[in-house]
Chains A and B, each alone.
Chain A
Amino acid sequence: MREQLRGARFCVIALSTLMSGFSAGAMADGFVVDKVYHPYVNPIERELEYRSIFVESDDAAVDGIQIHQFAFAHAFAERFRGEFYLIGANRHGDNLSLEGFEAELLWQLTEQGEYWADWGLLFELEKERGKDIQELSSAVIAEKEFGQWAGTVNLWLIYEWGGDVNNEWETELKAQLRYRYARFFEPAIELYSGQDFKGLGPVAVGSARMGEGRKLLWELGIIFGVDSDSPDQIYRVMLEYEF
């Protein structure tokens, strides 16, 4: 019971932080809605991943934008996983164009279940294609399990620089509260707070075994903007094949 109360407190902290305006963030010139990272690395696992978001907004400048990320990940050590991304975008059925590249390193700091919460660090380096824009990001990842529930928080610090962008620091918050109902279906609610977007919405998460050592994971959600500066809603989808 005490564990559950502590877990609930963890989520209240995340929620209250968001609602009190945990500042800005998110790829200032992009979108904060992406995915909530978990702090776990499983040695020797490899992953192929596709993620996408689709923006619906009254603001014609962003309405209809769709961002796609294709990635390959490999856990090259017991506590480290590297991932490389190709980032593309299109709009209203236009051809998909390659917009940038990204390298990512996830570092699992603690063993799952060893401490009150599980901890990890994430580092990302992103380069925009054809422009002098770079972005270096780091995130603290915390996850707390309480009964059938799991709460996860990602706190980001981002530095963006280059000749085609204003050099600036940003912060960002992503959080997820998930109910572990069944392997193939786990309902969740996600919260996002960044420079250009503050929102929350329902997400469904699940996985299916595809044979020995192979697994398909999926996430599907819709995040509603909660202030006038945010797009009305952002749809997000992720498919991941582990092998």
Chain B
Amino acid sequence: MSRRLGLLLTFAVCAVPARAATPVIEIEIRDHLFLPSEVRVPAGQKIKLVVYNRDPTPEEFESYELNREKVVMGSSKAVIFIGPLKPGEYPFFGEFNPKTAQGIVIAE
């Protein structure tokens, strides 16, 4: 039993908050487009994306490369943490409007 409690405590201690200095980048969804569609971020650092959906319908921010999938309800916002990323390009798209809602994160 003590081994199990120890394991749970280990997990609990590991759940420390992200650093306060996490850069914040804002993206808008408007008319089923990501604005801006190109987002430059520092490599090797955790980033907080705040995605505002200005459309009345939901959209899903999706990127296999970033390992993120998040529904942003209509006229609402969502927070998505990404990184730390290696330098490179990481495409993302809107799952509900994939033909128009496309973007890319460039880590440099």
Contacts and interface: CB of A to CB of B under 8 A. Distances in A.
Nearest to B99: A212
B95 A44 contact: no
Contacts of B84: 3
Given A3-B84, A13-B7, A44-B71, A116 B15 contact: yes
B68 A112 contact: yes
B96 interface: yes
Interface stretch (A16-24, A60-68, A82-90, A220-228): A16-24
A139 to B, nearest CB: 12
Contacts of A125: none
B85 to A, nearest CB: 10
A187 B79 CA distance: 29
Nearest to A17: B7
Chain A: number of interface residues, binned into ranges: 20 to 34
Given A20-B3, A42-B60, A115 B16 contact: yes
Contacts of A183: 64
* Among A43, A142, A145, A209, residue most surrounded by chain B Cβ atoms (within 10 Å): A43
* Among A45, A112, A113, A145, residue most surrounded by chain B Cβ atoms (within 10 Å): A113
Interface in B85-108: 95-98
Contact of B95 (A117, A140, A212): A212
Nearest to A214: B95
B98 A212 contact: yes
A115 B3 contact: no
Contacts of B69: 40, 42
Interface in B14-33: 14-18
A140 B97 contact: no
A155 B83 CA distance: 27
Given A42-B69, A44-B71, A112 B81 contact: yes
Contacts of A52: none
Contacts of B98: 212
Contacts of B8: 140, 155
17 contacts: A3-B84, A20-B3, A23-B4, A40-B69, A42-B71, A44-B71, A112-B68, A112-B81, A113-B82, A116-B14, A145-B67, A155-B4, A171-B4, A180-B67, A182-B64, A183-B64, A212-B96
Interface of A: 3, 10, 13, 17, 20, 22-23, 40, 42-45, 110-117, 119, 140, 142, 145, 150, 155, 171, 180, 182-183, 209, 212-213
